Structure 1
Amino acid sequence: MSTPTLLLTHRLTPDIASDLHAELANHLPDGALARARTPEETFELLPEADGIVTAGLSEDLLDSATSLRWVQVLSAGVDQYDQDALEARDIALTNASGVHAEPIAEQVLWFLLTFERRLHVGVRQQSRGVWERFEGGELRGKTLGIIGVGAIGTRVAELGSGLGMTVLGTKRTVETAPTVLDDCFAADDHHEVLRRADYVVLACPLTDETEGLLGSEEFRLMPSDAVLVNIARGDVVDEDALIRALQYRLIRGAGLDVFSTEPLPSDSPLWNLSNAVLTPHMAGSTPHKAERWQDIIVENYEVLASDKVDEMVNRIV
């Protein structure tokens, strides 16, 4: 078995790179792991790298990576990577699907409880020093619809089911749907889920097919007391249509962790809407990321060393 070189590029933040380097150093062969702290170091080390761990890949970087066979990214989403260019160069692309499932699912649960128990009303009253009683509801018996039942969607489904919710979902391959779902629909049948769900969670990747998946027509299909939760990508939703749906109460509310433009512009109406709860794209944050990344990276490194790239986990290209 050969000893490929794995490079942590400068595109990783210093904290992430340090944590990941510490985790990987004890699991990879001596001399297999390299770390670049600056663009100059990345370009210097790239020609000898068989694999890289990165948070971005420019055309210049790709052109310099003459020995590259594998790109590992630390996100689940890969919409910012030129998959055609990687495929043309016969370079595998793997993501971190599953790493963020637990923290994101827990944040989804927080969004659901926030709207069901109207906790955002209480927080806003507290900030104004107002004592004004309000009533909350129960999630038990409500219907949860999940658009995109992958690793994250499955964990969301488990938490929702555990609270006594009826759980619907969409999946490209219905036959592989997790048993926790009460009903599963093909990806193209997402309108049926929107029509029936009290809470709709977007957990699908951003692709040509899912860009703008929810627009004006979809918001009119949803019940007027439905709540949208988006932890996928901002562009899965037509943001202008969402703002109108919230302003005119076509839906009851939205819990949003992702936006079309990030950071969210200061003049966005979303900041001031009473029925929108916003977080700054942090749903995937967890102190356990490095150890979970390490599991995926070490497994894929060993596959690369055995020259069995087709067996990599979480392979996209």
Structure 2
Amino acid sequence: MNAQSNDKLIVNCIPVGDQDKQRFIDAAGDVPIEFCGDPNLFGDMKVKADVPEALRGKATAVLGNFDPSLAGQFTNLEWLQTWSAGVDAYLKPGLFAQDVTITSATGAYGQAVSEHMIAMMWALMKNFTLYVRDQTAYHWHDEGTVLTPNGATALVIGTGDIGSHFARLAKGAGMHTVGVRRSADKPVDGIDEMHGFDELDTLLPQADVVALSLPRAADTHHLIDARRLAMLKKDAIVINGGRGDAVDDDALAEALSRKAIRGAGVDVFETEPLPASHPLWDEPRCLITPHVAGGDHLASNTARIIDIAVANVRRYAHVEPLQDNAHR
């Protein structure tokens, strides 16, 4: 990013109001910025960024998630800032030149996703999935014993923004938190003890709750598979709020059908939408939500996304390193 300011053009597709628009203008300084987001869609981060065709070849920076199939039209692109935490669609080999920097909204979703995961955990501990089914069937029935988080162990696999938030909430409920990350020597707020991935098989049998908030990576594909599900306690609960392919959905359904574990709360799946024929739909102790833990469902998420983007626009305008540089 060595071009002069007058050679740069930021195209901002984030739907913002006048106040936030001015924040972006101030951050950009001498770098021109075009706004393409519809203010009426403020907070809607599910739509694709609509960059006008006339600007695609001129844009050196884009804020928003444009259709990856159009990547070849952004011939002068230096930087893409997504409003999502995941950038998998933009990391495919050959999609962009190697010198294109891709940054995400990682850090915007920790509160929302962790609260969603905690809510799933409580619901499964207290048999709420069973009671909801009873209610729809007009069936008055005691579903038996319940669990408490107080004194239980939460194994938090992936201790970034989401995992750290989850751990702090879990500790507030009286849980002992054990973290798993690549750099086991780095402490994380909310984690009582940290371990590396090489210790995972030893840690799984001790866990009452396994909470996953991993980014997508080749070495985390089906990290929780049939073999590792078999290591868990019969009363264990699995919660996945990170990337869908970290858990083998077929193996999870099989474990639930055999009552090998107590339950599972899943917001992300390897195939989305989850096919109607998948056996997880029919498991009474599986709580399914359609990848809605993050997104714009919590108002504060949008504010954080904008804060992250404004900060990076300021860095871009001053030719400073951008925050959350995705590795390719």
**TM-score scaled to structure 1, two decimals?**
0.89
Tell me if the contact between 1:36 and 1:45 (Cα under 8 Å) persists in the aligned partners. Answer: no
Residue in 2 aligned with 1:2?
A: 5
- Contact 1:257/1:278 (<8 A) preserved: yes
Q: After superposition, where does 1:302-317 map in structure 2 within 5 Å?
A: 302-308=314-320, 311-317=321-327
1:27 aligns with 2:39: no
> Structure 1 pair 227/39, CA: closer, same or farther in 2 (3 Å)?
closer
> Taking structure 1 as reference, are residues 155 and 42 closer, same or farther at Cα in structure 2, changes over 3 Å only?
same
Q: Residues 81 and 104 of structure 2 are in contact (CA less than 8 Å); yes or no, is this contact kept in structure 1?
A: yes
Counterpart among 172, 175, 197 of residue 187 in structure 1: 197
Counterpart residue number, 2:41: none
Partner SS for 2:265: strand
Structure 2 distance, partners of 1:247, 1:278, is 15
1:298 to 300, 305, 310: 310
Q: What residue is the counterpart of 1:123 in the other structure?
A: 132
Distance 2:183 2:94 in 1: 27
In structure 2, give the amino acid aligned to 1:254. Answer: A
Q: Look up the SS of the partner of 2:303 in the other structure.
A: helix
> How far is the alpha carbon of 1:232 from its aligned partner?
1.2
Work out whether residues 214 and 236 of structure 1, in 8 Å CA contact, stay in contact via their aligned partners in 2.
yes
Moved over 4 A (4+): 36-41
CA offset at residue 76 of structure 1? 1.6
What is the CA-CA distance between 1:72 and the residue it aligns to? Answer: 0.8
2:163 matched residue in structure 1 = 153
Change (3 A) 1:21 1:176: farther
- CA–CA separation in structure 1 for the residues paired with 2:64 and 2:311: 17
The residue that corresponds to 1:197 in the other structure is 207
Deviations 1:195-252 (A, max 9, x none): 2110001101111111111111111111121111011122111111111111112211
1:253 corresponds to 2:253: no
User: Partner of 1:92 in structure 2?
Assistant: 101
Q: Does 1:211 find its partner at 2:221?
A: yes
Return the offset for 1:179.
4.2
Mapped contact 1:23–1:294 kept (Cα < 8 A) = no
Distance 2:106 2:21 in 1: 22
The answer as to whether partners of 2:149 and 2:175 remain within 8 angstroms in 1 is: yes
Between 1:212-221 and 1:154-163, the stretch displaced more is 212-221
Structure 1 position 81, deviation (Å): 1.8
SS at match of 2:253: helix
Letter of the 1:77 counterpart: G
Structure 1 residues 80-89 or 113-122, which shifts more? 80-89
Secondary structure class of the residue paired with 1:167: strand
SS at match of 1:175: coil
Mapped to 2, the partners of 1:163 and 1:36 lie a distance apart of 41
Look up the equivalent residue of 2:36 and give its one-letter code: R
Q: Are 1:80 and 2:84 an aligned pair?
A: no
Alignment match of 1:234 (pick from 244, 250, 266) = 244
- On the 8 A contact 1:109/1:160 being kept in 2, the answer is yes
Letter in 1 for 2:5: S
SS at structure 1 position matched to 2:220: coil
- Conserved? CA contact 2:113–2:293, under 8 Å: yes
Gaps of 5+ in 1: 10-16
Corresponding residue for 1:14?
none
Match of 2:231 in 1: 221
